[in-house]
Amino acid sequence: MARSDDASPPDYYARLGVRPSASREEIRAAYREKAQATHPDQNPDDPAAAERFQKVKEAYQVLRDPERRAQYDDVRAARKRLPDGLTINQQAPAGCSGYLWRVLAGMVAVGLFLVLEALDVWAASSVWTIGLAVGGASLVAGGIAVLLARQFPDEATDVMVRLTQSEVLMRADGHTTFRIDWADVRTVRPRDDGRTIELVVDRTAARHLRPAPPVLTRVERENGRAILRLDLSDTDVPRDVLFSFLRETSAIPAGPDSAAPRSASG
């Protein structure tokens, strides 16, 4: 997602052969020595001399200017602080929504058993009567259980999202939910709430993917692409760390609408 000016800066100190703590006088002296050694006039038979001399000159133009040097040092420091990967964890409390449908389904089964008991089905002399009654009750209980399960989906209680220089990975309760290379990601879009990001990926990369709340809250497919919405509001990653990583990692793509966060509604 890094802009061209966010790429790793060249090591101007190494070009001049000085330490980052070198004084202006040391930098000036080192430049004179390097410039003389690399000047094309001193190396007429070296076709790469002009390029080396230009690199030395470029380094000196930055380091001799206090303001430009300070900006350069800030960029170098930021790059050193940037981790190779960012691991985001969420250990959500085990909510009741995933268990509620099971409880309700059990209550329905007990209710049907009581109905059969009240109708004195168990006393019927015909095995077919008992079989049909039990089979019908089982079908009803099973159908209601399926409907309840759809209304109260399970939520993962141990979620890990791993952002690296090459891919984004999500695991929920020990199972891999998705693993997508940044090459298959078209855009990363932060939203206004500061805790939600959207990944616009090639549709084939998310062909069989379904929502896995509470982190992967939505999966939308349209026009050959898929939009994955990740809600990181209850995770352990600070907002500034997350967006710094997204901004500074050059492998993460930035689309035309990723410069400003999108509205959190919808």
- In this predicted structure, the answer to whether residue 56 has a pLDDT above a threshold of 90 is yes
Which pair of structure tokens corresponds to residue 206?
């998310």
Report whether 82 contacts 42 (CB < 8 A).
no
Q: Could you tell me which residues come within 8 angstroms of residue 231 by beta carbon, excluding any fewer than 6 positions away?
A: 195, 196, 214, 215, 217
User: Residue 90 burial by CB count (10 A; 0-12/13-18/19+): exposed, middle or buried?
Assistant: buried
What residues form DSSP beta bridges with 196?
Answer: 231
- In this predicted structure, the answer to whether residue 144 has a pLDDT above a threshold of 90 is no
Q: What is the pLDDT of residue 38?
A: 92
Going by the DSSP 8-state scheme, the letter that residue 191 receives in this structure is: B
Please tell me the distance from the alpha carbon of residue 168 to that of residue 27, in angstroms, as a whole number: 42
pLDDT band at 174 (very low <50, low <70, confident <90, very high): confident
Q: What is the mean pLDDT of the chain?
A: 77
DSSP 32-60: HHHHHHH-GGG-TT-TTHHHHHHHHHHHH
Question: Residue 22, CB half-sphere, CA atoms under 13 Å: how many?
Answer: 20
Closest by Cα among 88, 127, 67 to 234:
88
- In this predicted structure, the answer to whether residue 258 has a pLDDT above a threshold of 50 is no
DSSP 74-124: HHHHHHHHS-SEEEEEE-----SHHHHHHHHHHHHHHHHHHHHHHTTGGG-
Q: What is the pLDDT of residue 31?
A: 96
Q: Could you tell me which residues come within 8 angstroms of residue 70 by beta carbon, excluding any fewer than 6 positions away?
A: none
What residues form DSSP beta bridges with 227?
Answer: 200, 220
Phi/psi at 198 (nearest 5 deg)? -115, 135
Mean pLDDT of 73-79: 77
Closest by Cα among 90, 95, 198, 88 to 153:
95
DSSP SS3 for 33? helix
Q: What is the pLDDT of residue 212?
A: 85
User: Residue 52 burial by CB count (10 A; 0-12/13-18/19+): exposed, middle or buried?
Assistant: middle
pLDDT band at 5 (very low <50, low <70, confident <90, very high): very low
pLDDT in tens, 77-131: 766 665 667 888 875 554 445 555 455 556 666 666 666 666 655 555 555 565 6
- For residue 10, the tally of other CB atoms under 10 A from its CB is 14
**pTM: predicted TM-score of the whole model, two decimal places:** 0.50
pLDDT: which is higher, 71 or 136: 71
pLDDT in tens, 34-53: 999 999 999 999 899 899 99
Mean pLDDT of 228-257: 77
- In this predicted structure, the answer to whether residue 192 has a pLDDT above a threshold of 60 is yes
Give me the residue spans of the domains in the chain: 4-81, 97-151, 159-248
Q: What is the pLDDT of residue 235?
A: 79
User: Domain spanning 4-81 has what CATH number?
Assistant: 1.10.287.110
Closest by Cα among 128, 165, 208 to 1:
165
Mean pLDDT of 139-144: 63
Which pair of structure tokens corresponds to residue 19?
């330490």
Which pair of structure tokens corresponds to residue 17?
């052969």
Lowest mean pLDDT among 2-11, 217-226, 244-253: 2-11
Of 33-37, 238-242, 256-260, highest mean pLDDT? 33-37
